[in-house]
Homo-oligomer: A and B are copies of this chain.
Amino acid sequence: MKPPAVFQARNPATGATLEGEFRDASPGEIDAAARAAERAFDSYAALPASRRAEFLRAVAQKILGLGDRLLERAAAETALPLPRLESERARTVSQALLFADLIEEGSWAGARIDRAVPDRKPQPRPDIRRMLVPLGPVAVFGASNFPLAFSVAGGDTISALAAGCPVVVKAHPAHPGTSDLVASAVRAAARETGMAEGVFGIVHGTSPEVGITLVTHPAIRAVGFTGSLLAGRTLFDAAALRPEPIPVYAEMGSANPVFVLPGAIADRGSAIARGLAASVTLGAGQFCTNPGLVFVVDSPAASAFLEEAGNCLAATAPGTMVHAGIKAAYDREVGQVARLAGVSIAARASGPGAHPDTEAPAMLLLADARAWSAQPRLGEEIYGPATLAVRCASRPEMLELARSLHGHLTATIHGNEKDLAEWGDLVAILKKRAGRLVFNGFPTGVEVCPAMQHGGPYPATTDARSTSVGTAAIERFVRPVCYQDFPQAALPEELADANPRGIWRLVDGHLTRDPV
């Protein structure tokens, strides 16, 4: 048996090694975490929603209670600026509170009641009552780009815990210290609110084997992941090959195409150019909703628009990426794309400055429609502060390119009212290729709310039927169970005649909060 890999975190802005040693979890440690989660499942799932809500609220409190220590460690590990981390912490905390409210209100359980019809001919109709129940222990993979909101106590963990599923987190090796701090907060919250031991666990690892071992563990019943296509697909494949396959909700990035229509360019091309550059460079381009493709129909106004976008990008100070591996991948990808036939670098920010290992200059790449169509690599994501503008000769050519897009998380249209009336077919095309359609805005900034859909057709995610942001994220970790002819006393309160919690239920096909 080889000894476990020991690793330390690095400050990507300075290259300095940070305090604390972490090591790859052994198969035995992964097994222990998964089994502890399995042992915790029955009692945790059986708790009243109010108790789980109390736990989630305590998680929020304990994270806030870590104070500046958490923000400082996260800043040191990721080079994300403190204001960004502060707002990410606020988002993490408000997600926990949102899901606490959701499960306390209770209607999310999707209760349906079809009452018996004893005198129906030829057969009596039985009494059938259905609701959603938790799947079991969930493995959650922390993301590099959101050390708080999509990591240890991020959206995946909180929505799984809300559903009644214990969670084992695989921490991202780019921010292991931040991960341990948040894990200590979740554990303290679990202790204080009397949750079962094992309701939450964490393992570290730099090797892909740690993740594979976790995902193929028989106790794990679902997986939440945010990261690269390669890693996400590897986990999906491993889960599909299990003796009992399990769902993998992998969000694997996206090029988030933006279509800037002629009327919009004429009306406010300059504002769109500036907004685009700001969206592309936000957080050093490390957002899964980063707009990496921009389509225009050629015209003098379109040229001016692209020139202004290029100028804005060129004027942006280089951003520090969360680790050197990601910066190296950015350089490699930009280099590969720029060398392809028909592609040029239209604008490039100066830099990198003092830390070329991690600082990424913003870039505008340019291609014509024919070059883009002929080279599928041009439709894929470049992770970082670059965007590829594609000049189309005509409206039909732009529609043709839209049709050839694969799945993305988002698709954006800039247009005026006349554009929208004329380009209805573009909306219809994009609806098949994205989970979220944005009009006259930018895709970065994903609102946490009931109506959010963060998840699109493959390769944006492995399961376009789900969202990883917003209250509907809880639906990923449940399955329906129905009870036939059970006496009242043996039914969960969600399905009992009295409806003690006053939840919305579909009774004999009609939504109501009334008792039966």
Contacts and interface: CB of A to CB of B under 8 A. Distances in A.
A487 B439 contact: yes
Interface string A155-186: 00000000000000000000000000000000
A479 B451 contact: no
A344 to B, nearest CB: 30
Nearest to A233: B245
A435 B483 CA distance: 9
A290 interface: no
A420 interface: yes
Contacts of A46: 428
Contacts of A455: 479-480
A482 B453 contact: yes
B441 A485 contact: yes
A434 to B, nearest CB: 7
Contact of A486 (B241, B437, B447): B437
Contacts of A440: 485
Interface in A436-484: 436-441, 445, 447, 449-453, 455, 457-459, 462-465, 467, 472, 478-484
Nearest to A513: B511
Contacts of A439: 483-487, 490
A435 B132 CA distance: 10
Contact of A451 (B112, B427, B453, B464): B112
Interface string A122-164: 1101101110010110000000000000000000000000000
A437 B491 CA distance: 11
A424 interface: yes
A491 to B, nearest CB: 10
A452 B130 contact: yes
A107 interface: yes
A504 interface: yes
Chain A interface size, as a band, is 35 or more
Given A236-B245, A420-B490, A484 B128 contact: no
A3 interface: no
A451 B128 contact: yes
Contact of A447 (B126, B420, B431): B126
A308 to B, nearest CB: 23
A351 interface: no
Given A126-B447, A451-B112, A506-B451, A481 B417 contact: no
Given A439-B484, A483-B439, A107 B511 contact: yes
Nearest to A443: B484
A457 B509 CA distance: 26
Given A107-B511, A455-B480, 20 more contacts: A46-B428, A112-B472, A113-B451, A114-B452, A130-B450, A135-B464, A236-B240, A236-B245, A240-B241, A247-B463, A417-B487, A435-B481, A436-B482, A437-B481, A437-B482, A439-B483, A441-B485, A464-B479, A465-B478, A472-B480
Interface of A: 42, 46, 87, 107, 112-114, 122-123, 125-126, 128-130, 133, 135-136, 236-237, 240-241, 244-245, 247, 406-407, 417, 420-421, 424, 427-428, 431-432, 434-441, 445, 447, 449-453, 455, 457-459, 462-465, 467, 472, 478-487, 489-490, 504, 506, 509, 511
